[in-house]
Chains A and B, each alone.
Chain A
């Protein structure tokens, strides 16, 4: 490779990585235990990606490729920290169900909602509720939600990053969303969100 071509390649690579930094950090936050660990994880992944940049055949595939490196950095770091890798994320996965539905809860007639209960629920949902609910998920659920729902990855892209079959991604995402909805519901109930009378008073005042 001539020097000039190499420089052009390096500049493109560096710029493209910098553009993807928010996405990478968001992905890392879904895996790591703390903000500091997430930043270290991204730095580790970027350094590793730089060393292996010749392996990237198509520029279009950079995002998936980087996320896969990020994921592998996370897994090897976790293995390093725990001498014996514990397979918590795999045990019992088949038994978890994906049947919790916020929509069905909000539709229960005895709640006497005023107007459109689903829309009201979404309107009153706070950023901190979302963060708390997502952070409360087990890591293997959190990561699929962040990749699919926050980063907008397709099932095939998530499968590539996590090195899982597409069918597993689909079912894991369904379970993760169900648990997320359950957590949002529980937080809403804790906060006493369901107060139809107060709501009606508010409308009349």
Chain B
């Protein structure tokens, strides 16, 4: 079978859902991503699903990311590193 022809075979919804996480995690190769994007352009249902999963992922990231640590803890690590540096 010609590889190029199979590359251009459009993917169906089942395949799109299968790949959705890897797509949003940017873990697909170029071909996989292109096929996915072509499906999302055509399929409203998978597009809505992808948008929801993407926003939820962003929301989790924003909600749980730690921008800074308590000052006291940072001091503890600074002291630890400083002491090791002066010993070496």
A contacts, CB < 8 Å to B:
6, 10, 13-14, 17-18, 21-23, 25-26, 29, 39, 42-43, 46-47, 50-51, 102-103, 106, 118-119, 122, 125, 127, 130-131, 134, 145-146, 148-150, 152, 154-155, 170, 173-174, 177, 180-181
Contacts and interface: CB of A to CB of B under 8 A. Distances in A.
Q: Chain B interface: which size bin?
A: 20 to 34
Contacts of A154: 25-27
A122 B21 contact: no
B80 A25 contact: no
Interface of B: 21-22, 25-27, 48-49, 51-53, 55-57, 59-61, 63-69, 73-74, 76-78, 80-82, 84-85, 88
Contacts, number: 99
A134 B64 contact: yes
Contacts of A17: 77, 81
A127 B61 CA distance: 11
Contacts of B69: 21-22, 25
A97 to B, nearest CB: 15
